[in-house]
Structure 1
């Protein structure tokens, strides 16, 4: 190799080595420059619902008429490992006198129903709401222990202590073959719109992208759609402009999941887990005037290490150090606490992790 070519190639390699880290093959933006006002208000309370022998996930809180905090959460046997959520999860109920007090297990409210039921192998993603004078527990179930039968359902009760009336069929089926959402419906986020309609946001992705992906870690591209009904029980009709949030256009297979939606001072807000827009460790906060077209994302919450110091990551916990499944507790109509799920804890499985919104 001639000296001029050698020097040129050396300089090029040096320049490449100094480029920023990549996420899904694309440059990773500096998330600390894009922190939302909400994220700046978060103060750590710490872990809750650390249960020996279980992974705890998907903590959805609500204030009860008894003045206590009720949490509906997913759990599955620790012996199943982190992947047990897809084929062994149940939804349980716990209560505390205050968001920063100890939560006590009350009962399991939704367990897999077995062969022949759409939620026969798992019950997951609880999302509790009080709507039209009844308690509504939106959730995801599947029938074969795999992602392609994940469907959103709705159980209802007159009391947070049940009994819960379970649906014979899902609330929302997957889209038609070839559609962006033909794989599943999952991760429900619900609001009753100010106009009186019932809006159900849901996560999905495309079968072809999932089964033929060359990425061994993240297959397909998760997007969010919207389905609207005139009655709580449905039918829910897909919005013609779906998906309403789609980060695939940003390149690098950027995506997101775990959305929670609320309306505050006339604006729609969505809090979600990032999957490559900034990185895998932060949350996203986006806002909208109409709930359909959303602003560019800001960072909605930070990595665990920014709130507390925890032991080094064990080898079996691949999602250690990040907060997932954000759900907000409202007190007197105002966002008061952020409930999330995080691997780790005293049993090195997973538990709730709570932050106060100051």
Structure 2
């Protein structure tokens, strides 16, 4: 297990005053005035977590346990597979710490690819942990052929964070019919229980023809988000007639987004995501909604690491997303966000790890 000394080494964080100055400078220089969400003003960098030699670590989803500790469910895959290994060799693991800042101790691998014949044969990825109706729900993505066209959302459940986990024999949500906006896949699950008692599942997808037509572009897509609703947690989930409920394609320039995280606070739906062309490829987005279907125009939710004064060594040639924060997930206490957990390339292992920011 990493010691706290080891954990702190390699963070390469400037003093907080410098971090705040860097944040202010990034706001004033790089992006238009008025483009930042109030959410962004409360973030302060803490540092990296789960730096695992020999692995890429991604998709860090945290939750407070009954033991008062912080439990994180995260994706990891062998470093030998490179950054793209998430698609054909990721597993979902469980780690625990006394504090959000860590250090974290690996507990076990919860879900691993099951091999030929299963819908999640080649990868298990995109974990999002939730406590729903007294049981722990691990929403995730699996695929059957190591490619994007078999990505499907699934749901594993357990009575405790230590398991045992009941693994689904079938996906929770399937793509739409041929030529539909969501005919390619279902992935990046974001879940919220509606005040009316329904179960709302947001999912990312795109159209296969659009995806193929975008070969050679910086971003292939166009990624959009749909909503599926069920009267029972286990489904069936029925796709909303207004889908896609979030679609940036009308802005032009191949603008899109991914990695949505949804929660309810102050009587509204709130959403964090990774920007893919609305402002830039480096920032996060914040949207909110009264009804969960019609969303505000996005504002910037968080910056790349340099915006917080975080200094890193020069990027290795193998890391093309160096310095970005991706896969935002919140640590909630009594429904209120307290920490933002993201994934970011780099760190002591020279691969990727979690990165934590505190909300003040």
Normalising by structure 1, we get a TM-score of 0.91
The residue that corresponds to 1:349 in the other structure is: 351
The residue that corresponds to 2:337 in the other structure is: 335
Q: CA deviation at 1:218?
A: 1.9
- Pairwise CA RMSD: 1.0
The residue that corresponds to 1:193 in the other structure is: 194
Instruction: Verify the 8 A CA contact 2:265 2:335 in the aligned structure 1.
Output: no
Kindly tell me: are residues 214 and 105 of structure 1, through their superposed partners in 2, closer, same or farther at Cα, counting changes over 3 Å?
A: closer
Kindly tell me: are residues 258 and 32 of structure 1, through their superposed partners in 2, closer, same or farther at Cα, counting changes over 3 Å?
A: farther
Higher alpha-carbon Rg: 1
Structure-1 separation of matches of 2:216 and 2:276 = 14
The residue that corresponds to 1:113 in the other structure is: 114
Q: CA deviation at 1:107?
A: 0.2
The unaligned stretches of length 5 or more in structure 2 are 1-29
Q: CA deviation at 1:31?
A: 4.8
Indicate yes or no: 2:352 matched with 1:319: no
The residue that corresponds to 1:140 in the other structure is: 141
The residue that corresponds to 1:24 in the other structure is: none
The residue that corresponds to 2:222 in the other structure is: 221
Q: SS of the counterpart of 1:126?
A: strand
Q: CA deviation at 1:214?
A: 4.1
Structure-2 separation of matches of 1:83 and 1:186 = 16
Aligned length: 330
Q: SS of the counterpart of 2:85?
A: helix
The unaligned stretches of length 5 or more in structure 1 are 1-28
Q: CA deviation at 1:33?
A: 3.9
The residue that corresponds to 1:71 in the other structure is: 72
The residue that corresponds to 1:158 in the other structure is: 159
Structure-2 separation of matches of 1:234 and 1:223 = 22
Mapping for residues 1-358 of structure 1, pairs under 5 Å: 30-31=31-32, 33-307=34-308, 308-358=310-360
Instruction: Verify the 8 A CA contact 2:261 2:329 in the aligned structure 1.
Output: yes
Q: SS of the counterpart of 1:305?
A: helix
Q: CA deviation at 1:315?
A: 1.1
Instruction: Verify the 8 A CA contact 1:61 1:328 in the aligned structure 2.
Output: yes
Instruction: Verify the 8 A CA contact 1:255 1:274 in the aligned structure 2.
Output: yes
Q: Deviations over 1:154-193 (max 9, x none)?
A: 0000010111000010000001111000000000000000
The residue that corresponds to 1:17 in the other structure is: none
Structure-1 separation of matches of 2:47 and 2:32 = 23
